[in-house]
Amino acid sequence: MMNRRFYLLVLFVVCGYMLNAQQPNFLIISVDDVSWFEHSVYGTSNVPTPNIDRIANEGIIFNNGYVSAPSCAPARAAMLSGKHFWQLEQGAFMQSFFPKKFVTYPQVLQQNGYETCSVGKNWGPGIVPSNDGHKTGNVAGKSYNHHIREDAEKTRYLYPRDYVAGMEQFLLERNADKPFCIWAGIFEPHGSWMKPKEAISLAQSEFGVDVRSLSSDYYDHEQNSAKPQPQPLGYYYEMLHYDRTVKMLLNSLEEKGILDNTMVIFIGDNGTFVRGDNLSGFELNVVGNNQTPRGKASGYDAGVHVPFFLMWKDRTTGGRVVDDFVSAIDIGPTVLEAAGVPIPEEMSGRSMLKIINSTQSGQIDTSRETMMTGMEFHYENKLLPASRTIRNKRFEYIIHFENNGEEFYDLENDPWETNNLINNPEYEEEIQGLKAKMKKIGLEQGDPRFTGDMALFDHTHQYCNQGKESRFDGNWKKNFKRSYGEGLKAVGLPLVPKN
Give pLDDT, residue 483.
Answer: 56
Contact 305, 42 (CB under 8 A): no
Give pLDDT, residue 461.
Answer: 85
Kindly report, residue by residue over 464-479, the tens digit of the pLDDT. 776 544 444 555 555 5
Q: Which fold has domain 373-490?
A: Arylsulfatase, C-terminal domain (3.30.1120)
| Model confidence band, residue 170 (pLDDT cutoffs 50, 70, 90) | very high
| Model confidence band, residue 155 (pLDDT cutoffs 50, 70, 90) | confident
Give pLDDT, residue 460.
Answer: 87
**Number of other CB atoms surrounding residue 77 within 10 Å:** 32
Q: Poorest-confidence range of 51-55, 188-192, 489-493?
A: 489-493
Q: Which fold has domain 24-364?
A: Alkaline Phosphatase, subunit A (3.40.720)
pTM: 0.90
Exposure on the CB side of residue 45, measured as CA atoms within 13 A: 24
- Bigger pLDDT: 39 or 461? 39
CA–CA gap between residue 165 and residue 148 (Å, rounded):
9
| Model confidence band, residue 126 (pLDDT cutoffs 50, 70, 90) | confident
Q: Where are the domains of the chain?
A: 24-364, 373-490
Give pLDDT, residue 167.
Answer: 97
Give pLDDT, residue 497.
Answer: 38
pLDDT higher than threshold 90 for residue 153: no
Taking residues 338-357, report their average pLDDT. 97
Kindly report, residue by residue over 400-427, the tens digit of the pLDDT. 998 889 999 999 999 999 999 999 999 9
| Model confidence band, residue 480 (pLDDT cutoffs 50, 70, 90) | low
As a whole number, the mean pLDDT across the chain is 88
Give pLDDT, residue 410.
Answer: 98
pLDDT higher than threshold 60 for residue 154: yes
